[in-house]
Amino acid sequence: MAFFTGAGNWIVIQYGSLESIPDEILEAARLDGANAFQTALRIKLPMIKKYLIYMTILTFAAGLQIFVEPFLISSSVYPNIAQDWSLNQLAFSLSSTGASLRSATGLSQ
């Protein structure tokens, strides 16, 4: 579910970044004999690198937020609450301790 939530952002931003590459540069690469793979690797990828870094930062921040918010709430607002009160925390503790990988997988779905 989380993949499909974030996939729209990736599609819109990467489509926009690829559309911003001037046609003259792509035509020059074709005239120089670059195939599709070489054009993608040597022309497009370096030109959209800043957008890829931006999306990596956003993805990292979203992944970190899953664990930071429950940790902050349990440590400062409600200090006597259980360690695994959030579903994400419970799934992480079940999978990292090896207690029940099936249960962790079910919780993360």
Per-residue pLDDT band at 27 (split at 50, 70, 90): very high
Task: Identify which has the larger pLDDT, 52 or 99.
Answer: 52
Domain ranges, ordered by start, for the chain: 2-66, 79-109
**pLDDT value at residue 94:** 74
Phi-psi category of residue 33: left, alpha or beta, with phi > 0 → left and psi -120 to 50 → alpha:
left
Decide if pLDDT at 12 tops 60: yes
**Residue 42 neighbours by CB distance under 10 Å:** 12
For 77, how many CA atoms within 13 A lie in the half-sphere containing its CB? 6
**pLDDT value at residue 109:** 61
- Least Cα distance to 5 among 63, 84, 69, 51 occurs for 63
**pLDDT value at residue 24:** 96
**pLDDT value at residue 98:** 67
Cα torsion 10, 7, 68, 77: sign: positive
Tens digit of each residue's pLDDT (9 = 90 or more) over 77-100? 777 776 666 777 777 777 777 667
Mean pLDDT in the chain?
Answer: 81
Question: How large is the average pLDDT for residues 40-52?
Answer: 94
